[in-house]
């Protein structure tokens, strides 16, 4: 093992989830599932990452319904019988390679463009019908739609456990449906689903509570959160630690086990006066394990990669230092693992001269 990165390869043991090491493959949409069914190419893609020594794979975002959840082409769901069977093949293959895998359940909410979907007449869902503050594109969800959305998430969670996934991650970040309820700029409702943090966390809490009731107390549930929004990288859902506590505590009470705290650069502090990052604050305030993410092992951040920025391999020293002082428990790695399925093994074995730069080409093939 290479000196200096040992902490990444220590086992992770929590109440409900045990992993052989601390490296998590970040959820990354691939759009390679025609008919929304994950096929053999998806099986191979995830199996290669399990063989590459990752401690936990989190899948690309997976739709919990066939209607409103996605406008992105060829995104898989876990709703139809074919899709459920496809995911079972993925899980079996990853486990056959000695890996562990969780599914990310993703509803795009306001970021679905109806005109680009099979159901252009079905409006998109969001807390207040706003994609951008002040710009109403759709009506706010009504109570029936909210109830349907919750039920669909819970059914998808049940199907995910049946397919054999080791855990479930709810995508509650990046301005998508669940996050549209959290953020006070995109949730301006004045009913029980809006208002203060109790109201704005209610939608997520109902999904979590009802999932917990169906899946039992031992099944690990993760939620991914972000302060930043797609339409505003500098946004902060929580302005200070007290607000963050009001955001996270109801989610813990509802049954969340692990927080996955999305940042574009993991080393950036979340609040003034402390260099703790978002995952560090989540762990400190809740006592729950947390996952950090953002530009691990690469010089540039992921949104710039879409416009062609090439990222060079970068030092892991800052990451190692933070993990050695227990700021957070797990680290998710996105593009480095997209580019190179063997990334974790190369780090463990100190094969630094074999690490690759990340180019936009990897986004086109997603092999
Ligand atoms: C191609 C691509 C697809 C992504 N799709 C998702 C997704 O489906 N769900 C999600 O939560 N994040 C998604 N992300 C964000 C990643 O999970 C991760 O947070 C981001 O890439 C930062 O990590 P990195 O700097 O190690 O790449 C995606 C990122 C990339 C590059």
Task: Give the mutation target among 8, 23, 26 for probing the ligand 1 site: most ligand atoms within 8 A of CB.
Answer: 26
Give the domain extent around 128.
Answer: 6-365
Atom of ligand 1 nearest to the CA of 295: 25
Atom of ligand 1 nearest to the CA of 27: 17
Higher-pLDDT residue of 144, 115: 144
Secondary structure class of 301 (helix, strand, coil): coil
Buried b (16+ CB within 10 A) or exposed e, 298-337: bebbbeebeeeeebebbebeebbebbeeebbbbbbbbbbb
Q: pLDDT, tens digit, for every residue of 173-200?
A: 999 999 999 999 999 999 999 999 999 9
Q: Which two tokens stand for residue 151?
A: 């039920």
Q: Assess contact for 338 and 357: CB atoms under 8 A.
A: no
Q: Give nearest CA residue, ligand 1 atom 7.
A: 28
The CATH number of whichever domain residue 183 belongs to comes to 3.20.20.70
Q: Give nearest CA residue, ligand 1 atom 30.
A: 28
Q: Tokens 């090491």, residue?
A: 21
pLDDT value for 1: 40
Q: Is residue 205 part of a domain?
A: yes
Higher-pLDDT residue of 88, 115: 88
Q: Is residue 122 part of a domain?
A: yes
Decide: 28 in ligand 1 pocket, CB within 6 A.
yes
Q: pLDDT, tens digit, for every residue of 286-343?
A: 999 999 999 999 999 998 888 888 899 999 999 999 999 999 999 999 999 999 999 9
Q: Is residue 215 part of a domain?
A: yes
Q: Is residue 1 part of a domain?
A: no
Pairing mode of beta strands 330-333, 290-293: parallel
Pick the closest to residue 25 from 355, 364, 361, 338 (CA basis). Answer: 338
Contact residues for 287 (Cβ-Cβ < 8 A; gap 6+): none
What percent of the chain has pLDDT above 70? 96
Å from CA of 26 to ligand 1 middle? 6
Q: Is residue 174 part of a domain?
A: yes
Residue 258's H or E segment, with its range, is strand 258-262
Q: How many structural domains is the chain composed of?
A: 1
Secondary structure class of 14 (helix, strand, coil): coil
Residues in the chain: 367
176 is known as an active-site residue: yes
Rounded Cα distance between 175 and 246, Å, is 19
Q: Does the pLDDT of residue 163 top 50, yes or no? A: yes
């Amino acid at each position: 093992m290479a000196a200096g990165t040992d902490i990444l390869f220590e086992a992770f043991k929590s109440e409900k989830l045990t992993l052989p090491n601390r490296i998590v493959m970040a959820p990354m949409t691939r759009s390679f599932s025609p008919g929304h069914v994950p096929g053999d190419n998806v099986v191979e893609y995830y199996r290669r990452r399990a063989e590459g020594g990752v401690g936990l794979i989190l899948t690309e975002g997976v739709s919990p319904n066939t209607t409103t959840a996605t406008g992105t082409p060829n995104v898989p769901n876990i709703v139809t019988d074919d899709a459920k069977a496809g995911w079972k093949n993925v899980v079996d293959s990853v486990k056959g390679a000695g890996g562990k895998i969780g599914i990310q359940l993703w509803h795009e909410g306001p970021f679905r463009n109806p005109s680009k979907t099979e159901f252009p007449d079905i409006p998109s869902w969001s807390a207040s019908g706003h994609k951008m503050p002040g710009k109403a594109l759709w009506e706010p969800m009504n109570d029936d739609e909210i109830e349907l959305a919750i039920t669909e998430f819970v059914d998808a969670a049940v199907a995910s456990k049946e397919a054999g996934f080791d855990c479930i991650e709810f995508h509650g970040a990046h301005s998508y449906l669940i996050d549209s309820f959290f953020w006070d700029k995109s949730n301006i409702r004045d009913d029980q689903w809006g208002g203060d943090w109790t109201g704005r966390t209610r939608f997520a809490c109902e999904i979590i509570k009802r999932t917990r009731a169906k899946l039992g107390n031992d099944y690990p549930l993760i939620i991914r959160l972000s302060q930043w929004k797609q339409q505003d990288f500098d946004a902060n859902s929580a302005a200070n630690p007290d607000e963050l506590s009001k955001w996270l505590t109801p989610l813990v009470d509802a049954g969340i086990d692990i927080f996955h705290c999305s940042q574009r650069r993991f080393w950036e502090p979340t609040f003034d006066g402390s260099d703790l990052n978002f995952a560090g604050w989540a762990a400190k305030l809740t006592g729950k394990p947390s996952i950090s993410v953002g530009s691990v092992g690469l010089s540039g951040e992921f949104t710039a990669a879409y416009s062609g920025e090439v990222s060079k391999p970068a030092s892991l020293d800052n990451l190692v230092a933070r993990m050695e002082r227990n700021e957070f428990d797990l680290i998710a790695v996105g593009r480095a693992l997209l580019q190179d399925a063997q990334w974790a093994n190369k780090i463990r074995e100190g094969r630094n001269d074999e690490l690759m730069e990340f180019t936009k080409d990897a986004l086109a093939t997603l092999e």
